Amino acid sequence: MSSASPGLLVLADGEEFEGDLFGATPDGAAVGEVVFNTVMSGYQEVISDPSYAGQIITFTSTQIGNYGVTPADDESERPHCRGVIVRELSRTHSNWRATGDLNSFLIEHGIAGLSGIDTRRLTRHLRDRGAMPGAFGPDADIARSVAATATTTDGIDLVSTVTRDRRTIAGTDPEADRQIVAIDCGIKTTIVRHLAGLGSVELVPASISADELMTLHPNGVFLSNGPGDPAAVSYVVDTVRQILGRVPIFGICMGHQMLAQALGASTFKLPFGHHGGNHPVRDLVTDKVEITSQNHNYCVDLDGVADVAVTHINLNDGTLEGFESTAYPAFGIQYHPEAGPGPHDSQYLFDRFANLMDAR
């Protein structure tokens, strides 16, 4: 990697952090909502997760890039995040699976990075003040100007920027006679692999209507993860509302939020979101504790919603992590049971979806 150029990160509240640029050279400044992620590994999976559209990812792990990158770890065709911030970018990488280095990966996909930042101070600031817009680049004046006018993800439909534009057959298990339709709000590749282990999977655009969806004769409908404010994607909620009771439904992350809204719930923004691979969640049905992978800025409020049962709770802050409808064959989980990256404690939830389909 060539000698680094200095760069400046400026947050919307005026806080500044000096560092060194890497990855693609930003066009003026890289701008987005700045969040932090606590995973110890899996940086490529995080960066390529479409749910980070509109955001700048700060990694709290001290060194990033030390095992390189490989196409096998991509969670989408390309990253949708706005930038990457690290404490130290590894100058070399070593892993038998690696086909390249992180710096080149970001250059290839046009993603700017900033290293040498005191990520501990930045994380503490975001934890105390909340996730906020920010901008970084080589020109301090441009970074300050852009940061002052940058917006959050609130009220913005980012799903339309990451969903596919046509129906796609993703894969099938020849021994599993189930037809699954997955509404793509920004679906991760690892989720698709898990669903393909349950049956034939057809990925459809988030804009699909309920009538068109039902012509595919699904045994189950999956609602995927995705970026941005769930309250801004009413067209998906309308579709889900129209298929309730007609087919089993399983939602993950934003899909969980979409399902909840279709049942009458509301959503609200968390102060700094849940982004990491070590969040403890209690399963209220079994009383077991799972260590989970999470990536969401918004949360569901079930207050006043009838015919739902809370199934999972976050042990860090007590927020809702899972529920099931008692009126319809439908359930949602706020975290990521497919991991990628993260622990595999929660993969049983895909079996629960299979059982729900088989029961119908």
For residues 215 and 246, give the distance between their C-alpha atoms in angstroms, rounded to a whole number.
12
SS3 content of the chain, % helix, strand, coil (to 5): 25, 35, 40
For residues 352 and 194, give the distance between their C-alpha atoms in angstroms, rounded to a whole number.
12
Q: Which residue's structure tokens are 């849940």?
A: 274
Amino acid at 311: T
Catalytic residue (one of 33, 253, 296, 324): 253
For residues 132 and 34, give the distance between their C-alpha atoms in angstroms, rounded to a whole number.
6
Task: State the sign of the Cα–Cα–Cα–Cα dihedral 318, 319, 322, 328.
Answer: positive
Is 253 annotated as catalytic?
yes
Is 338 annotated as catalytic?
yes
DSSP secondary structure, 230-266, as one string: GGG-HHHHHHHHHHTTTS-EEEETHHHHHHHHHTT-E
Catalytic residue (one of 33, 290, 324, 338): 338
For residues 114 and 111, give the distance between their C-alpha atoms in angstroms, rounded to a whole number.
10
Q: Do 281 and 321 meet the contact criterion of CB atoms below 8 Å apart?
A: yes
Q: Do 155 and 72 meet the contact criterion of CB atoms below 8 Å apart?
A: no
The DSSP bridge pattern shows strands 200-205 and 88-89 to be unpaired
- Ramachandran class of 185: left when φ > 0, alpha when ψ lies in -120 to 50, beta otherwise: alpha
Give helix then strand counts, H and E, for the chain: 10, 19
Catalytic residue (one of 256, 296, 312, 336): 336
Query: Helix (H, G, I), strand (E, B), or coil: what is residue 190?
Result: helix
Within 8 A by CB and 6+ apart from 12, the residues are 132, 133, 134, 147, 148, 150
Return the H-helix or E-strand segment holding 124. Answer: helix 119-129
Query: Among 310, 339, 139, which Cα is nearest to 225's?
Result: 339
- Residues annotated as catalytic are 253, 336, 338
